[in-house]
Every structure is written in structure tokens, then in C-alpha cells.
Amino acid sequence: MARTPADVAAQLFRSIESKSVAGVAALYDDNVGVWHNFDNAVQDKADNLKVLEGLTKSVAKIQYEVVERHSVGDRVIQRHDLNLTLADGRVFTIPAAIFITVKNEKITRIDEYLDTAQVNQLRAAQRRPPA
């Protein structure tokens, strides 16, 4: 049975929560493009997976609290709070909206809007430069 775009998107978030970068890689089309509002640049598959690998290693826990999710054709639109827990127990919540395009059960495009003020609080706690 074919997976719907919503199924693929749900699996993406489960893979990230379980820190499975390989699981994310399996969902991505080889030519996926991942755009973020904070740098207005499109990452390719390798670059995005490298960022995800860094994220999974820098936090103790990743959890998505979905506020809303809608499917429109091959697109999934989701608004969520991304909760990241550091090893010392501090939790940082980053409100976000994401648009995921799925074709042939593979993610071909992601457009992600993050609250950079919250991202930068996390980065400061990790002694990293702002986004």
C-alpha cells in the first residue's frame, strides 16, 4: 500500500525524534532541497543530513508538538513547537512552520520557517554563534 504525503511527513518527524539520520536519509529524494528562512539558502541532501547529525548529537532529546498538520495534494503543511532538551535538562522550544513536498513517497522539497530568536537562545546555551 502506497504511503500518503502525510504518512511520509509523519515518518520524517518520528525519525528525527528518534535521532535516526539514516531514517531521514531514506525518506529524502536524492535531489531534495531544504530551505530555511534564517539563511535563505537551499541545502542539498548531504548538507541537510550533516546539520541533522549535528543536531542529534548536540541535544539529549528531540520532540515535536504538532499544533496543526494539513495535506494539500503532494504538500504537507505543519505548524509545530520543536522541543529540544539539552544534557543538563534545559528545554528550548522553537516554534516553526514547515512545508514538505512528497513525490513517489520521497521528500523532494522542504521549506522551513523557524523562530530565530528561539534558535539563537539555544545556540547561545551551546556556546555557538547565532544563526
pLDDT of residue 88: 95
108's torsion region: left (phi>0), alpha (psi -120 to 50) or beta?
alpha
pLDDT of residue 130: 86
- Residue 115 φ/ψ, nearest 5 degrees: -75, 100
Encoded amino acid at 40, one letter: N
Angle at 89 between CA 88 and CA 93, to 5 degrees: 125
Tens-of-pLDDT digits for all 131 residues of the chain? 789 999 999 999 999 999 999 999 999 999 999 999 989 999 999 999 999 999 999 999 999 999 999 999 999 999 999 999 999 999 999 999 999 999 999 999 999 999 888 887 888 888 888 88
CATH number 3.10.450.50 given to 5-125: yes
| pTM, to two decimals | 0.92
